[in-house]
Amino acid sequence: MNDYERIARVIRYVDAHHAEQPRLSALAREAGLSMFHFHRLFSAWAGVTPKNFLQWLTFSRAQGLLRNGKSVLGAALEAGLSGPAVCTIFA
């Protein structure tokens, strides 16, 4: 598996499991790399760190849920956040 395929696989994994807020160790395991190597490779290919990508995806999902009429608490929990405080930014 080449580097492009590894990162694409992890991006699909994060997209499918964003609500679980997977840790760097789980993402590195998904890529079959050490955490250090995975972090460097992901940042180089995606242009952002794995954490920043997960945050962007989580907030984007919460924002979409709020726009579709979901309650602040419901959007926060469905997006994988621990509570509604962060969602009030988008309300």
Mean residue pLDDT of the chain comes to: 86
Prediction pTM value:
0.78
Looking at mean pLDDT, say which of 6-10, 56-60, 66-70, 76-80 comes out highest: 6-10
> Is 11 within 8 Å of 73 (Cβ atoms)?
no
pLDDT at 84: 63
d(CA 58, CA 62): 6
The range of the structural domain enclosing residue 54 comes to 3-89
pLDDT of residue 63: 86
Q: How many domains does the chain have?
A: 1
CATH number at residue 30: 1.10.10.60
